[in-house]
Chain A
Amino acid sequence: AQSVAQPEDQVNVAEGNPLTVKCTYSVSGNPYLFWYVQYPNRGLQFLLKYITGDNLVKGSYGFEAEFNKSQTSFHLKKPSALVSDSALYFCAVRDDRGSTLGRLYFGRGTQLTVWP
């Protein structure tokens, strides 16, 4: 079975500090991993994805994520947080061997608050 866990409902950081939003996953085959961001009353916006290759993936708005196969993790990071980064963040996974290729499995989301 495919699943995603985001162990923290909320993450609070001060502006200018580094931030990390955690994600762990479970799949049968090789994972395709995604991060999305959602601002209030809006749809989800794609940030970045890991398919294969370099374990450090760079995405939009200065975000990056590190794929760790041994720990089955894909944590989202940013070296210096901005107040405007405050939003709800979702991690998602697909299995490359899944019969339903279209399905993405989402975590429950982590609310990031960056205070001035």
Chain B
Amino acid sequence: AQKVTQAQTEISVVEKEDVTLDCVYETRDTTYYLFWYKQPPSGELVFLIRRNSFDEQNEISGRYSWNFQKSTSSFNFTITASQVVDSAVYFCALSEGGYSSASKIIFGSGTRLSIRP
């Protein structure tokens, strides 16, 4: 069965600090997809990244970076030089491969990130 664990319920850091959000997943499939979404205070869900299970390359996008490690079933998200606008709830999500995988994305419980000026 699928499961996504985000053990950090809330994180608060001072602006310009680096912060890492942890995500640990469980799946029996060899083909699966991992995602990160951002939910700012306005409430919409913003897609950040998708990663295929066959692609373990880490990814960097500006101040954001993602570390995917199959050996530890983790897909961690780091924000470098955090800014107040990064304050949001961040969700990690997992979907197993298969015909209906696009519709069965399972979410973690989210990490509320607060960046203090």
Do A and B originate from a single complex?
no
